[in-house]
């Protein structure tokens, strides 16, 4: 599942719609919604907004995005204990996040990192990749 390759072209193809959806959900100007913008730090999203954004993306792209899916996929092959310990992401977990969230500038993903802070890393492109992953995972009828 996590071995799905996503090309820049695929991201560019859906990006305008993802950006518009996120701008709509956050009631912000679309020109602020850059690919590498952190939804929380740059666009002022709160965790409740993530649910709204996911719901809107599901509707816009006719995909199902299971709750908690990004964090679960970000963990990849690592067990919960390998990924985090006492609420802190392990070094192996940080390395895995850098790989999985390749669209996030690496300097934003550094130890020590609280597991609860992972959503702060998510960018507009993270959500675009999530939509593409779900499209590829569930072929449309």
pLDDT at residue number 40: 94
Q: Is residue 1 part of a domain?
A: no
pLDDT at residue number 37: 94
pLDDT at residue number 1: 44
Nearest in space to 124 (alpha carbons), one of 140, 104, 109: 104
Q: Is residue 2 part of a domain?
A: no
Encoded tokens for 10: 């695929």
For the stretch 38-76, pLDDT in tens is 999 999 999 889 999 999 999 999 999 887 777 788 898
Q: Is residue 129 part of a domain?
A: yes
Q: Is residue 49 part of a domain?
A: yes
Query: What CATH number does the domain containing 82 carry?
Result: 1.10.1200.10
How many structural domains comprise the chain?
1
Contact status, residue 87 vs residue 115, Cβ threshold 8 Å = yes
pLDDT at residue number 17: 97
Nearest in space to 126 (alpha carbons), one of 14, 28, 26: 14
For the stretch 90-111, pLDDT in tens is 999 999 999 999 999 888 998 8
Encoded tokens for 6: 């996503």
Q: Is residue 3 part of a domain?
A: no
Q: Is residue 29 part of a domain?
A: yes
For residue 121, give its domain range. 8-137
Q: What is the mean pLDDT of residues 127-140?
A: 86
pLDDT at residue number 140: 53
pTM of this structure: 0.88
């Amino acid at each position: 599942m996590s071995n799905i390759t996503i090309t820049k072209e695929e991201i560019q193809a859906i990006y305008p719609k993802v950006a518009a959806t996120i701008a709509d959900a956050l009631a912000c100007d679309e020109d602020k919604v850059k690919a590498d913008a952190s939804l929380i730090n740059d666009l002022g999203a709160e965790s409740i907004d993530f649910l709204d954004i996911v719901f809107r993306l599901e509707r816009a792209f006719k995909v199902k995005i299971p709750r908690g899916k990004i964090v679960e996929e970000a963990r990849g092959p690592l067990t919960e204990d390998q990924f985090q310990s006492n609420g802190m992401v392990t070094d192996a977990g940080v390395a895995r996040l850098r790989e999985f969230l390749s669209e996030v500038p690496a300097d934003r993903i550094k130890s020590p990192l609280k597991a609860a802070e992972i959503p702060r890393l998510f960018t507009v492109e993270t959500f675009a990749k999530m939509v593409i992953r779900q499209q590829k995972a569930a072929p449309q009828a």
